[in-house]
Structure 1
Amino acid sequence: MSERDGFLEQGGRDSRDHVHDYDTRETSQHRRPSHSFKSETKPDKRYLYAGISLVVSLIAFVAQTETAGYVAHNLQYKKPIFMLYLTHSSWVFLLPLQLLFIKIFKRWKTPWRVFLRRQYELVLNTARATQEHAGDFSGQHPLKYIMVTSFWLFVALSFAGSSWYIAVNLTTPSDLTAIYNCSAFFAYAFSVPMLGESLKPAKVVSVVVAIIGVLIVSYWDTNEGEGEVSYPHRGIGNLIIGVGAILYGLYEVMYKKLACPPNTISPRRQAAFANVVAFCIGLCTLLFLWLLLPILHWTGLEPFELPHGSAAGIMIANIASNAIFSGAFLILMALTSPVIGSVAALLTIFLVAIVDWLLFDTPIGTGGVIGGLIIIGAFIMLSYASFQELGEEAEDSDSDDDII
């Protein structure tokens, strides 16, 4: 890989890249919107990076699920909001780790001061392109725009995540899984008005089939004991998790609409900027979500208690796997679409069942196998339709230069 192909290396570029080198002193009135430029990269590179992100996110999510389940059920450490705070706050490490990786493997001989200045210039340029692509010409500083956007993403994500933890004690596991994973439908529904997503039959069918697969997994082998007697507040729980599914779908589309660079930016640069946004969301979590913890402690809803012993070690693994999953998942959505990201997340239902079977000898029911295969088929169908569109968008590209 050539030196110019390293992550986050736009800052010191020559004038030959002037089309994408935004002047940081330029006013918003004189900026040309980034989304008016032609695509910088062939679609096959986008396929490659999206594929890597998908594989990494699936593996990390399975690890996150298994470690979270072990801590809660085997070690009886059940502090869901505190765990939510720790896992989402861990996103602040993604950007420093990314910079450290670049410095060690790409710019070892570059002085730190010069290196960091280049990274700042790149982030600023990409933030401006993102701001313009989102249609914001208010004149506010691009980094302020990204921070404000990240705050609202943090709000939507925190409410969506909290709804799951609240509803888990009110409704059946089957309802919880089925309703929450309907966020794929809501992601598509929000994508139509907010992203201009076309209502193509192949995509609509793929999303519907995927949700049918989730319903089969959830209800085919359901124990009839899951009823109103065991869950007297099932209706309230379903309502709460339904709101959570809507908010999670909205979060995904908001991220794509407001915080992702346009496709005129190379896949490497889009992937790098996804970690910048993840850092900002993690920072908002670190600064604001802790305010809930004393309230939950004083009200007795979730008494504060630090993990210790083996629970602490496994929680560290859980936090690390969540950070990896979240970074890869944001990259996947940046390179593709919220709809693909949502349906891809459904694959983890089947993967977790397989891992449980291999590691803990937990049998996979008939519904799990049938539903899992249906979800896989729906994802393949959706991916084919979506990447066909991506190829069509890149047909007119006259530049193969990967600027990162």
Structure 2
Amino acid sequence: MAESDLSKHRYYGGIFALLGVVFIWVTSSFAMNSIFGELQYNKPFLVTYLNTATFSFYLIPFLFKNSKKKNEETIKILNTTETRLQFSELESRSHLSINNNTTKLSTMETIKLSFAFCILWFFANYTTNASLAYTSVGSSTILASMSGLFTLGIGAMFNVEKITLIKLISVCVSFIGVILVSYSDQKTYPTEQDPTITTNISSALIGDILALLGAVFYGCYTTMLKVRIGDEDRIDMPLFFGFVGAFNLLLLWPVFPLLDWLGIETFQLPFTSTLWFMVLLNAFIGTFLSDYLWLLAMLMTSPLVVTLGISLTIPLALFGDIVFKGFIPQPHYIIGALLVVIGFVTVNIAALKERKQEQEQQQQQIPDQNISTNYQSI
């Protein structure tokens, strides 16, 4: 299979993983909204902590596999001098032909990256989850979509994203859609909640601020990973997520007594079997599986594509509100959702064109390098 075909299949594979993430995240948001509201278990920090804890299970197979692999490699190297010489020759060649952008991260480098990533990731998810306790799934999803603006800006600063006219138009179209949906949601919000105006305004404001903070953290850690990793082949993702879970377990447990003492979140384990089932199911599916797919999609496409792709959660959340909550959307809401989808499709087309241009440039450089090498040898 040609290299261009592999790159195209790789990109489409990332889009497929992204669509799976969109579906899982919306389903998880409705589940948490039910946990915090209907089931009266408003513990976003504990739920996020348990979600992150599931990542630690990635380390179990790694520990056994890594020790076995090291023993086998050690025996082969010690018993065969020829193998050791061949390995040294291949290693020296690989250092000449492989640059820093394609070499695989070592275990220590992966651990350091997990440490830098874990806090940003936790607070991005914590603020987003906490917003679901104060506002609807639609409102939280709408404001989370604003992460596209932060991703584009931060990515441009680190040369991860190229600011083109098409991308700017796509982001602006998506942002206009977010405004329309937000306007429609805020217009109908007081009629759906308690008639006390002051309580409604303060509750909506808290939820909006938390969701917006989640969007900011998302843009930060998405760009950081693309800068530090670049290509998904460079990192062992199960190992990466495993240490993310381990670091969060070790570093964040002292926060529980602090939150309890401040009265922000009293410590209380789930008190019914239904709660335990929903919390654990959300942890393993809504976090353990979905975030693995998310990272894969981000590395196989780009941070901006994934960020705008996550905006597809808006029409899906709207569909869920209509089916499960009997919500009737206004025209502003429907038009806004369509604009978000249009922005997503447009930026994907632009990204595909950029990839084709990069491939053509690389193919043109390879013959030039071969000619230069042959000339030097003559």
How big is the shift at 1:335?
A: 0.8
Deviations 1:79-98 (A, max 9, x none): 00001111122223346579
* TM-aligned CA distance change 1:339 to 1:169, over 3 Å: same
Unaligned runs of 5+ in 1: 1-38, 104-110, 119-124, 262-266, 399-404
Residue 111 (structure 2) aligned to one of 137, 144, 147: 147
Matches for 1:372-391 after TM superposition, within 5 Å: 372-391=337-356
| Identical aligned residues as a percent | 23
Please state if 1:211 is matched with 2:169: no
* TM-aligned CA distance change 1:301 to 1:134, over 3 Å: farther
How big is the shift at 1:203?
A: 0.8
Q: State the AA in 2 paired with 1:325.
A: S
* TM-aligned CA distance change 1:341 to 1:313, over 3 Å: same
Deviations 1:81-140 (A, max 9, x none): 00111112222334657999xx9xxxxxxx99349978xxxxxx9xx999933999xxxx
Q: Is the 8 A contact 2:147 2:216 kept in 1?
A: yes
CA distance in 2, matches of 1:233, 1:348: 23
Equivalent in the alignment of 2:309: 344
Please state if 1:43 is matched with 2:18: no
Please state if 1:68 is matched with 2:32: yes
CA distance in 1, matches of 2:113, 2:291: 17
Please state if 1:257 is matched with 2:227: yes
* TM-aligned CA distance change 1:386 to 1:299, over 3 Å: same
How big is the shift at 1:162?
A: 3.3
Q: Is the 8 A contact 1:131 1:145 kept in 2?
A: no
* TM-aligned CA distance change 1:208 to 1:294, over 3 Å: same
Q: Is the 8 A contact 1:259 1:277 kept in 2?
A: no
Residue 156 (structure 1) aligned to one of 91, 99, 120: 120
CA distance in 2, matches of 1:386, 1:80: 36
Equivalent in the alignment of 1:317: 281
Q: State the AA in 2 paired with 1:55.
A: L
Q: State the AA in 2 paired with 1:277.
A: F
Determine helix, strand or coil for the equivalent of 1:78.
coil
* TM-aligned CA distance change 1:174 to 1:345, over 3 Å: closer
* TM-aligned CA distance change 1:94 to 1:389, over 3 Å: farther
CA distance in 1, matches of 2:213, 2:98: 29
* TM-aligned CA distance change 1:277 to 1:163, over 3 Å: same
Equivalent in the alignment of 2:237: 274
Please state if 1:286 is matched with 2:249: yes
Residue 298 (structure 1) aligned to one of 250, 261, 277: 261
CA distance in 2, matches of 1:117, 1:362: 60
Matches for 1:324-335 after TM superposition, within 5 Å: 324-335=289-300
Q: Is the 8 A contact 2:53 2:246 kept in 1?
A: yes
Q: Decide which moves more: 79-88 or 308-317.
A: 308-317
Residue 101 (structure 2) aligned to one of 133, 141, 162: 133
Equivalent in the alignment of 2:335: 370
* TM-aligned CA distance change 1:387 to 1:223, over 3 Å: same
Equivalent in the alignment of 2:16: 52
Q: Is the 8 A contact 1:147 1:280 kept in 2?
A: yes
Q: Is the 8 A contact 2:62 2:239 kept in 1?
A: no
CA distance in 1, matches of 2:244, 2:163: 31
Unaligned runs of 5+ in 2: 74-90, 367-378
Q: State the AA in 1 paired with 2:276.
A: A
How big is the shift at 1:161?
A: 3.0
Equivalent in the alignment of 1:113: 68
Deviations 1:135-159 (A, max 9, x none): 99xxxx9322222222121122223
CA distance in 1, matches of 2:203, 2:35: 26
Q: Is the 8 A contact 1:214 1:346 kept in 2?
A: no
Q: Is the 8 A contact 1:42 1:394 kept in 2?
A: no
How big is the shift at 1:181?
A: 2.6
Q: State the AA in 1 paired with 2:156.
A: V
Equivalent in the alignment of 2:85: none
Q: State the AA in 1 paired with 2:264.
A: L
CA distance in 2, matches of 1:230, 1:280: 40
Please state if 1:231 is matched with 2:205: no
Q: Is the 8 A contact 2:143 2:211 kept in 1?
A: yes
How many residue pairs are counted as aligned between the two chains?
333
Residue 182 (structure 1) aligned to one of 146, 152, 158: 146
Larger radius of gyration: 2
Q: Is the 8 A contact 2:161 2:304 kept in 1?
A: no
